């Protein structure tokens, strides 16, 4: 590569450290409004060598084709998931796609553990009672939850986040069960019970935590049938992607009392949440904040930029390229 400075579009303002790193290596344009770039993306991307997008920007085959015609040579996403990008089309067009694995695993696993505790102890409803001034005299049967020790945690998707969650869950004396595309090595499994089929995982999950990536195979995989396999009163937690769960089936299971509680950080039509969820006292709902720590978000930006810099400045593919 020659010494010419490459041009980069970043579709949302990031931390000062991340932007400083970007400007050291690229002639950088930043979409400064704190909202998705929307219809302004195509014009802003024209003539850029690379784009660093947010999960709010969808790059289908048509848009990727246009980006390539407009001079874009690489794409990075500020996320570990890349289901908003047609990676097959990007590969066909010769566009490497970079994402941000590893650096957000601890942040998401921390939040998953919080949601497990909130769902099993009923903390959302307890806090509502306190804030509403409804806290009455002490009662031995009021606001009772479930103790985690001895319960069975089913982890659907034992990748980096799932493994980080399992490490935390062991400290709470949860028995770890998991389903994954392939079984982990014993050194990573650390005594966890592998289930080759999702259905058998569901049958033993007092708490189910969804950590799997969104793919054609996993979308709506937690459906009415599989929810019916859970033990009565089970808690369901999702820190992966909203479309892994059939929300209609989940709402029905909550209404019928077949599920004890839910802890959801992700939804099918974000940022629009099915308002029926708001009516459940046993639902802890968060606005997709799994990676929302200062440390994680900064490392995500630096990792995405490192992929672009390694490729466009040094002519090599970094390990966070999803289509090498």
DSSP letter string, 97-134: EE---STTHHHHHHHHHHHHHHHHHTHHHHHHHHHTT-
Query: Are 263 and 237 in contact, with CB atoms under 8 Å apart?
Result: yes
Share of the chain above pLDDT 70, in %: 99
> 92, 167, 168, 288: which is the annotated catalytic residue?
288
User: What residues does each domain of the chain span?
Assistant: 6-103+294-312, 105-285
- 183 given a catalytic annotation: no
What would the pLDDT profile of 277-313 be if each residue is shown by its tens digit?
999 999 999 999 999 999 999 999 999 999 999 999 9
- 180 preceded by cis ω (within 30°)? no
Inform me whether the pLDDT recorded for 139 exceeds 60. yes
Inform me whether the pLDDT recorded for 90 exceeds 50. yes
| Structural element, H or E, at residue 262 | strand 259-264
Domain at 105-285, CATH from 3.30.300.30, 3.40.50.880, 3.40.605.10, 3.40.50.720: 3.40.50.720
Rg (CA), the chain: 22
The predicted model gives 119-131 an average pLDDT of: 97
Q: Look at 104 and 38; give whichever has higher pLDDT.
A: 104
What would the pLDDT profile of 29-87 be if each residue is shown by its tens digit?
999 887 788 888 999 999 999 999 999 999 999 999 999 999 999 999 999 999 999 99
What mean pLDDT, rounded, does the chain reach?
Answer: 96
Q: Collapse the DSSP code of 37 into the 3-class scheme (helix H, G, I; strand E, B; otherwise coil) and give the result.
A: coil
- DSSP code of residue 222: B
- 193 given a catalytic annotation: no
pLDDT at 1: 47
Question: Fold match between 6-103+294-312 and 105-285?
Answer: yes
> 99, 226, 241, 297: which is the annotated catalytic residue?
241
Q: What is the pTM assigned to this prediction?
A: 0.93
Q: Indicate the CATH number for domain 6-103+294-312.
A: 3.40.50.720
């Amino acid at each position: 590569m020659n010494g010419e400075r490459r041009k980069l579009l970043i579709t949302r303002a990031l931390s000062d450290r991340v932007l400083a790193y970007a400007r050291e290596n690229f002639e950088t344009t930043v979409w400064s409004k704190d909202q998705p770039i929307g219809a302004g993306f195509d014009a802003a991307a024209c003539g850029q060598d690379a784009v660093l997008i947010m999960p709010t920007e969808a790059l289908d085959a048509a848009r990727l084709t246009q980006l390539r015609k407009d001079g874009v040579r690489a794409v990075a996403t500020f996320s570990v998931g890349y289901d908003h990008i047609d990676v097959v089309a990007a590969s066909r067009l010769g566009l490497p796609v970079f994402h941000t694995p590893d650096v957000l695993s601890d942040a998401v696993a921390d939040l998953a553990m919080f949601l497990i505790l909130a769902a099993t102890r009923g903390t959302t409803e307890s806090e509502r009672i306190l804030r509403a001034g409804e806290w009455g005299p002490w009662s031995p049967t009021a606001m009772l939850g479930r103790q985690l020790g001895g319960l069975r945690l089913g982890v659907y998707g034992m990748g980096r986040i799932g493994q980080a969650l399992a490490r935390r869950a062991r400290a709470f004396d949860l028995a770890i069960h998991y389903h994954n595309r392939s079984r982990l090595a014993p050194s990573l499994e650390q005594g966890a019970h592998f289930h080759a089929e999702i259905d058998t995982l569901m049958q033993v999950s007092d708490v189910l935590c969804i950590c799997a990536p969104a793919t054609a195979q996993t979308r709506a995989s937690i459906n009415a049938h599989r929810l019916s396999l859970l033990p009565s009163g089970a808690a369901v937690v999702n820190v992966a992607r909203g479309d892994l769960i059939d929300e209609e089936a989940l709402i029905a299971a909550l209404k019928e009392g077949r599920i004890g509680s839910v802890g959801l950080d992700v939804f099918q039509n974000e940022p629009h949440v099915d308002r029926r969820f708001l009516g459940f006292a046993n639902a802890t709902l968060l606005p997709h904040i799994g990676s929302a720590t200062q440390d994680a978000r900064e490392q995500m930006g630096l990792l995405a930029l490192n992929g672009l810099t390694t490729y466009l400045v040094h002519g090599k593919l970094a390990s966070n390229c999803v289509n090498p």
